[in-house]
Amino acid sequence: MAHEVKVEVTRTGRRFEAAAVLDLAADAQTVWDTITDYGGLPRFMPGIRACRVKQRETLARGDERLVVEQEGEFRFLLFSQAMTVVLGIENRRLQVSEAKAVAFDLGVFGARAIDVFEGRYELTTLAARGKSPRTQLRYTSLIGLRLPPPPAIGSSAVRHNLTAQLHAVSGEIARRSRRGAAADRP
């Protein structure tokens, strides 16, 4: 079963900061494999149609630096906007995955609509409950817009989209954990 997801959003002018913490019944490796499965994201992440690793540089201790291109759409109520974003991602294995947008294409808005996008996943291994490993997944993001969103819609749209995406991540982690547990049974 997927974890309940609650996203807190704070708006300051045209900038939105979001944060969510998920306490997952999964080991850190399963959580890590899920959030860094760039090719698999379109299979379980709402709003992402394609995701391609354009560059990958392996660093010490299994860390890596990547350039990833994602195609998809931003949806809220009846509004839908196609988008392509290129992300620079730095992964510190089993600890932090940090993404910063380096290029945007938002269809009719082009690159003019978004000033900044940064997203960060942080993993912390928690004490197990019985035989179940637990991992805390903390997600934070910063979204800065060049164009002003409608006053009441901006925070709601950010919260709605991030909640849907984190719920999908949580569900995929739960699915992979069940699959792993079934494989471990004699």
pLDDT tens, residue by residue, 158-181: 888 899 999 999 999 999 998 876
Could you give the angle at the alpha carbon of 89 between the alpha carbons of 164 and 159, nearest 5°? Answer: 20
- 79: CB partners within 8 A, 6+ apart: 157
Give the model confidence (pLDDT) of 4-54 as tens digits: 788 999 999 889 999 999 999 999 999 999 999 999 999 999 989 999 999
Contact 21, 136 (CB under 8 A): yes
**Does a structural domain hold residue 130?**
yes
Contact 142, 17 (CB under 8 A): yes
* Of the candidates 168, 68, 179, the residue with the CA atom closest to the CA atom of residue 117: 68
pLDDT at 48: 94
Higher per-residue pLDDT: 182 or 44: 44
**Does a structural domain hold residue 29?**
yes
**pTM score, two decimals?**
0.88
**Does a structural domain hold residue 163?**
yes
**Does a structural domain hold residue 50?**
yes
**Does a structural domain hold residue 1?**
no
What's 180's domain CATH number?
3.30.530.20
**Does a structural domain hold residue 2?**
no
Q: Mean of the per-residue pLDDT values for the chain?
A: 87
**Does a structural domain hold residue 19?**
yes
> In which domain, by residue range, is 163 found?
8-184
Give the model confidence (pLDDT) of 88-137 as tens digits: 999 999 999 999 999 988 665 555 667 899 999 999 999 887 778 999 99
| Euclidean distance between CA atoms 180 and 31, whole angstroms | 12
Give the model confidence (pLDDT) of 58-96 as tens digits: 998 889 999 999 999 876 555 677 889 999 999 999 999
Total tally of structural domains belonging to the chain:
1
pLDDT at 1: 43
**Does a structural domain hold residue 84?**
yes
* Of the candidates 129, 158, 136, 120, the residue with the CA atom closest to the CA atom of residue 10: 158
